[in-house]
Structure 1
Amino acid sequence: MKIAVVDYGSGNLASASRAVQLAADRAGIAADVLVTSDPADIRAASRIVLPGQGAFADCMGGLSAVPGLRDALGETVDSGTPFLGICVGMQLMAERGLEYGATDGLGWVRGEITRINAPGLRLPQMGWNALDFEPGAHPLMDGLVPGDHVYFTHSFALSDGSPEEILATTDYGGPIVAVVARGNRAGTQFHPEKSQEVGLAIIGNFLRWTP
């Protein structure tokens, strides 16, 4: 299995790639994990992981600034290659982001990225929080139970999303979208690479997933 971790100048590339390799090893999957910005590598991949951290507009700008990268990503994912977005990588899947002005996203899931409304709570949400989801609803969540904790670091989140595309939420002054999926595209608002055993389980599920 060839797994491309997309390098566009944003994201915890080293920790994400290490977590993907560890999850593959634990699942007994022979995997070649490559951190890359080369469109040819993206097209040749059998799985694509898009990490991200920072502002939505900056991340989309970084993705678009690498010649041919955004086209290769779109074409490869459109062809059916499974995709996992992490943190801002998940946010980029939305129709647009409103952080520091409106910026178009990839449009792969419905909704826009807006500032979290959590009166009395600090932003960013930083730390461990519990997942709420319907067990058995999606292969990405196999082996997890509601209440499992994962690690978040964010001030913006998906709003006006489609209920059919929302796999899990967390509570931070109200429900916050934590996991989305549509077709062969999935994303986590939290950092699975920082979420210890639960995060590794999710990555392993992604590697086994056949949408």
Structure 2
Amino acid sequence: MSTSRLGIIDYGAGNLHSVRNTFRAAGYESTLVSQPSHLEGLTHLVLPGVGEFGDCATKLRAQGLEEHVRSWIAEDKPFLGICVGYQILFESGDESPVVPGLGILRGHVRKFPEGDLKVPHMGWNGISLLHPEDPVWQGMDGHPHFYFVHSYYPVPENDEWTAATCSYGGTFAAAVRRGNLVATQFHPEKSQKLGIRFLSNFLTLR
């Protein structure tokens, strides 16, 4: 039986109910975290994201959670950022130039170029795993397919953080891994059985 105690950050802008329901489908209950005191006793933390970069970062700060997220990641506790919850881990983004990201990862979030490319990037796409032996990819082949919905993508300053890439008008970092920090541009909660497997794998991290 898992001893993981899972928290999902509720900052009024995330796709938290879909994420929570997908964890439940995987057999795991969760606690909603809307203030720092809710973090007590948790072992794993998820930052979901649907919405605008600046709005999400601003709401997280308004709830007094920014420094606690920083401390959690600095202590190398298992952390998962999803979509905008991945993007705001970086320093800055094209979507909200005047609102800084959390700066936990160095790099910038760029918009897909205008032109023939359909934006947002929406639907199923394959990713290439740089380290398929990583426990978060357990039970998957080297090119699993996940569901994407996004118009912006992070460009990490350090290539060593990139855990998976995706091709869409070029190659971008579909996922990063730094210690027990995991973050994905794709939506596990929209990715059916493979998404359930990914979230279950995340909860094995210690």
Identity fraction in percent? 37
Which of the residues 76, 83, 96 maps onto 2:79? 83
1:133-172 alignment runs, 5 A limit: 133-172=129-168
Distance 1:75 1:160, change over 3 A: closer
Question: Does residue 89 of structure 2 align to residue 93 of structure 1?
Answer: yes
| Corresponding residue number in structure 2 for 1:202 | 198
Q: Does the Cα contact within 8 Å between 2:130 and 2:162 map onto a contact in 1?
A: no
What does residue range 97-112 of structure 1 map to in structure 2 within 5 Å? Answer: 97-112=93-108
Counterpart residue type for residue 47 of structure 2: L
What is the number of residues matched between the two proteins? Answer: 203
Where does residue 10 of structure 2 map in the other structure?
Answer: 7
Once the two structures are TM-superposed, the CA of residue 118 in structure 1 deviates from its matched residue by: 6.4
Tell me the CA shift for residue 146 of structure 1: 2.7
Residue 25 of structure 2: aligned partner: 22
Q: Give the Cα–Cα distance (whole angstroms) in 1 for the partners of residues 101 and 133 of structure 2.
A: 26
TM-score, normalised by the number of residues in structure 1: 0.89
Contact 1:135 / 1:144 at 8 angstroms: preserved in 2? no
What is aligned with 2:46?
Answer: 49
- 2:18 and 2:6 mapped to 1: Cα distance? 14
Q: Find the aligned partners of 1:198 and 1:36 in 2 and give their Cα distance.
A: 26
d(CA) in 2 for partners of 1:144, 1:176: 20
Distance between the aligned counterparts of 1:176 and 1:22, measured in 2?
Answer: 30
Amino acid at match of 1:38: Q
TM-score w.r.t. length of structure 2: 0.91
Q: Secondary structure at the match of 2:203?
A: helix
Q: SS state of the match for residue 132, structure 2?
A: coil
- Letter aligned with residue 148 of structure 2: F
- Tell me, yes or no, if the aligned pair for 1:118 and 1:172 is still in contact at 8 Å: no
Q: Which of the pair is proportionally richer in helix?
A: 1
- The one-letter amino acid paired with 1:79 is E
Distance change in 2, residues 1:10/1:55 (3 Å): same
For the Cα contact (< 8 Å) 1:52–1:89, is it kept in 2? yes
Q: Could you tell me how far 1:152 is from its partner in structure 2?
A: 0.5
Letter in 1 for 2:102: L
The equivalent residue for 1:175 is 171
User: 2:86 touches 2:184 (CA, 8 Å); kept in 1?
Assistant: yes
Judged with a 3 Å threshold, the aligned counterparts in structure 2 of structure 1 residues 159 and 134 are, in CA distance, closer, same or farther, namely: closer
In the other structure, the counterpart of 1:63 is 60
Q: Match of 1:192? A: 188
CA deviations 1:25-74 (Å, max 9, x no partner) are 2xxxxx441122021112431100000111111110110111x3222222
2:32/2:38 contact within 8 Å kept:
no
Unaligned 5+ runs, structure 2: none
- Distance (Å, rounded) in 1 between the aligned partners of 2:154 and 2:99: 14
Distance in 1 of aligned mates of 2:177 and 2:187: 16
